[in-house]
Amino acid sequence: MEQNERVRCLIIGSGPAGYTAAIYASRANLAPVLYEGLQPGGQLTTTTDIENFPGYPDGISGFDMMEDLKKQASRFGTDIRRGIATAADFSKKPYRITIEGEKIIEADTVIISTGASAKYLGLPDEDKYAGMGVSACATCDGFFYRKKVVAVVGGGDTACEEAIYLSHLASKVYLIVRKNYLRASEIMQKRVKENHNIEILFETQAEGLFGSNGVEGVHLVKGLGSSHEERFNLPIDGFFLAIGHKPNTDIFKDFLKLDDNGYIITNPHTTETNIPGVFAAGDVADPIYRQAITAAASGCKAAIDAERYLTNQNL
């Protein structure tokens, strides 16, 4: 194992939260080191066009926007490195983070911005049509499906919220539900069922997608394994996954307080975790909004919180 390295501020993960934290931490002379993680730039690098982030009136690709943020963080002196955090030890100070199972970083402060990964069905076509009709964020991509036909997969509150949001944009929304009932709260069920632009397909599962230059339809099966099993194709323009997200918090679970779904719990109005000097920013601590702009804002807060902590601790 490589010799330990000591830093004042370690940022784990990139994306809008990590890079923004790096910009603020660098300008505060914290000499931050940032490890980009499994997907440098985060989930936004797989998004084709972003039109709802302030400052880009003509829109920008997710990859280009993350490159801009990365360059800005680098300009102010952030040490940006490739690598994945594989273990964490917050039992004593300085905190210890293992990178790639080999190098140990000792840090006075740690900003966690490892994000949350959308859950997918596991269909090969989800990868094939990524950015070409497949999305896991209606708020991010719904605008591109105005007056078009879309399908949302899921039966919980998130799926119902996504379907309702899309119903104000798309000409038709199909809600594909594997069970014969909705798991969503009563109020969300009521709103979906009363929305004339949403059609619920119960006991239905997606088996694949088709289309030449993007999604043009979905292969469905109704009543799988039953006497009334039926397979059919449904023409659609967009396929939205709304079956949940998994926060990337596995290596922190022995030390940090997490909610029932694995999201990091922070103190009200701050990015502070239950461990002093450890902060969380972005989707890893946000089960509600999961937007680039809110992630960037929390990255700013985390860097300010880290700077104040170091000052108060005379570090």
Catalytic residues: 137, 140-141
Question: If you ran DSSP here, which 8-state letter would residue 145 be given?
Answer: G
How far is 115 from 164, CA to CA, in rounded Å? 25
How far is 216 from 287, CA to CA, in rounded Å? 31
How far is 226 from 250, CA to CA, in rounded Å? 38
C-alpha triplet 152, 153, 159: angle, nearest 5°: 70
At residue 277, what are phi and psi to the nearest 5 degrees?
90, -5
Calculate the CA 176 to chain-centre distance: 22
Q: Residue 130 is encoded by which pair of tokens?
A: 């990524």
How far is 200 from 32, CA to CA, in rounded Å? 49
Q: How far is CA 103 from CA 35, 94, 98, 163, in A?
A: 12, 15, 6, 45
Question: If you ran DSSP here, which 8-state letter would residue 44 be given?
Answer: G
Checking DSSP bridges between strand 85-89 and strand 238-241, what pairing results, if any? Answer: unpaired
